Amino acid sequence: MPKLKLLLILSLIPFLSRGNSVFDCPLDSLVAEDTLVISQIVITGNKITKLSVISRELFLHEGDTVNKAVLDWAIDRTRENLMNTALFNFVNIQHQKIGPGQIVVIVDVTERWYIIPLPIFELVDRNFNEWIKSGDISRVNLGFYLNWDNFRGRNEALKFQFKWGYSQKIGISYSLPFINKNQEEGLTFSGSYSRNREVGYKVEESKVLLFKDEENFVRKEIFGGFKYTQRRGFYTTSSFSFEYRNNSIEDTIAALNPDFLGNGNTVQQLITIAWQFRHDRRDFKVYALKGYLFDFEIVKNGIGILENEPDLLYLSSTIKYFKPVAPRWFFSSALKGKLSGQSEAPYFNQRGFGYANDLIRSYEFYVVPGQNFVLSRNTFKFALVPTQIISLPFSILEKFRTIPYAFYLNANFDFGYVRDRQFQKDNPLANEWQYGYGFGLDYVTYYNMVFRLEYSFNKFGENGFFLHFTAPI
């Protein structure tokens, strides 16, 4: 028995020594006599991606001695890691026996199309559902992105953005995920200039009031910043970011809402520093079915050196959990909270429900600003059509010849609470628990595309169809 334990420990040393968690490894199925030696790892299909980028994600290495059960587990984790780089459409990993107790592992990847000029058809409203409700099809921004992903084959990303219409913007960003030999540190630089003819200047009855000027741009912003990241092992990252923003508005906006930038100001300069910790064990980041995520962020808006700079500090944290509960059945849940240290802040710097993905489903037409909030989102889903692959008989580009797809039916229930001590007279949904529930159909395909059609109800009995383009949790 001591010998068996020793062999089990030795079979796990390659993973433990690299700082990778093995808590989900099937230890109960290990048999000491089933150990194998990985004599060689062969990587194929990477015409652009450097070998070092792929090797960074491998749980297995040449010379490792592993048990067969550990081998299968490590292959699954490696496939998930490589897919989550967003560099590949498909990853296939096999192993072949080449002698007594000797194997070769073959990692075959299908690369994505990395240089993609994408047209911009961006809605002026906060989400697709508000845009449909407005009935004004002209409320869009047009333009294009030029994304060069996997720049130089090192998973770097170079992005340009040109946008015109209701909102105009020109921007650039350059991301270097690895700047040191150990591939643990990275940098991202970004900058932009934008201007808007229309601004949501105030919330009334938990809905945004808009002001538009056909002749002039009523808000302008200059932005620049950088982010430094550290990635430890496969799943843990931390980052430090520094951002500068210069926002200016027309006198009309300041007159309509003196609290927009605070004290009737028409200019706000803002330095933001932030630190974030993230541990991400999801199987597929775009549309997870198992695993979990935890992150924690500290954000300081204003450091006291610029004129009219707000002084705001807040903490936020998110926990997401994904669990298969039966064949083709899945459960997911997310809990997010935000705690702010101040009650007085300009309207422009307030956030609560209704922005980005901080939303109770069925409340798409509302915003609930506030200083503190807690939000819970929960989903049961059924794989109506588990992941399938269509092979087209012909295609202009080889990378688009095979198309993965999947459909999931789901039932959801969300609830949350926003604490607002500043704008509560115009914000009736704050300081009360809100909830919503509904049913939906999700379509998932490659290039990180998710389409969700949901029919939802809120606590007031309001209901309707809503369309989204990100995973629900």
Summarised one tens digit per residue, pLDDT across range 96-136 is 998 888 999 999 999 988 887 766 656 655 555 655 565 56
Name the pLDDT band for 6 (thresholds 50, 70, 90).
Answer: very low
Amino acid in the structure at residue 350? Q
Asked if pLDDT for residue 238 goes beyond 90, the answer is yes
Length of the chain: 473
Mean pLDDT of the region 257-282: 95
- Written as one string, the DSSP assignment of 347-385 is GGG---BTBTTB--TT-TT--B--SEEEEEEEEEEEEEE
Asked if pLDDT for residue 18 goes beyond 60, the answer is no
pLDDT of residue 357: 84
Q: Under 8 Å CB-to-CB from 135, ≥6 apart: which residues?
A: none
Q: Under 8 Å CB-to-CB from 75, ≥6 apart: which residues?
A: 59, 60, 93, 95, 105
Q: What tens digit of pLDDT does each residue of 327-380 get?
A: 999 999 999 999 998 767 899 988 889 887 899 999 988 999 999 999 999 999
pTM of the model: 0.84
Lowest mean pLDDT among 110-114, 318-322, 323-327: 110-114
Lowest mean pLDDT among 131-135, 249-253, 437-441: 131-135
Name the pLDDT band for 10 (thresholds 50, 70, 90).
Answer: very low
pLDDT of residue 265: 94
Q: What tens digit of pLDDT does each residue of 183-198 get?
A: 999 999 999 999 988 8
Domains along the sequence of the chain with CATH:
2-111 (3.10.20.310), 115-468 (2.40.160.50)
Asked if pLDDT for residue 21 goes beyond 60, the answer is no
Asked if pLDDT for residue 145 goes beyond 80, the answer is no
- Helix extents (H) in 91-146: 128-134
pLDDT of residue 5: 40
